[in-house]
């Protein structure tokens, strides 16, 4: 690999590590009581069917309210699955406003594949009240 490609690869993977994490890493942060806020950007009805425990529902029509986002810690965003770009769009939107954002690779599908707990109900929904 030539020097230019090696430097490009190093930048890419450095940024990937800085701005993404997998389900196991997120679970580890939960157990370490790390300052992490988890945001579910799927449709609210899908959130109600099941979500990562403690996640806050922030569907696209509420992104401009910035409700539920941490101003001091990390915000981890997830959507449906790895191919879904909704979480990446949300991260871009919120990062532009100065929030520290990370994307959960695999989304809700990845979380379930690891066999981690899923919470149901309406707790944690960010309302426009």
pLDDT at 129: 36
- When pLDDT is averaged across residues 71-97 and rounded to a whole number, the result is 95
> pTM of the entire structure?
0.85
* Distance from C-alpha of 119 to C-alpha of 116, rounded to nearest angstrom: 10
The answer for residues whose C-beta is within 8 angstroms of residue 55's C-beta and 6 or more apart is 38, 39, 40, 47, 78, 119, 124
Question: 128 pLDDT exceeds 50?
Answer: no
Question: 124 pLDDT exceeds 60?
Answer: no
- Show which residues are catalytic: 79
Q: What is the pLDDT of residues 10-44, one digit of tens each?
A: 999 999 999 999 999 999 887 776 788 999 999 99
CATH code for 19-113?
3.40.250.10
pLDDT at 29: 81
pLDDT at 126: 53
* Distance from C-alpha of 41 to C-alpha of 60, rounded to nearest angstrom: 6
Q: What is the pLDDT of residues 51-70, one digit of tens each?
A: 999 999 999 999 999 989 99
Question: 115 pLDDT exceeds 80?
Answer: yes
pLDDT at 47: 97
């Amino acid at each position: 690999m030539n020097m230019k490609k090696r430097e490009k690869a190093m930048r890419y993977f450095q940024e990937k590590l800085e701005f993404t994490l997998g389900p196991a890493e997120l679970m580890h942060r939960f157990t370490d009581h790390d300052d992490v806020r988890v945001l579910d950007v799927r449709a609210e009805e899908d959130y109600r069917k099941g979500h990562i425990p403690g996640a806050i529902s922030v569907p696209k029509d509420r992104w401009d309210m910035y409700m539920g986002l941490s101003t001091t810690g990390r915000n981890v965003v997830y959507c449906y699955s790895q191919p879904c770009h909704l979480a990446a769009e949300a991260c871009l939107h919120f990062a532009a406003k100065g929030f520290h954002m990370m994307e959960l690779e695999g989304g809700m599908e990845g979380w379930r594949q690891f066999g981690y707990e899923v919470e149901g109900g309406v707790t944690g929904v960010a309302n426009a009240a």
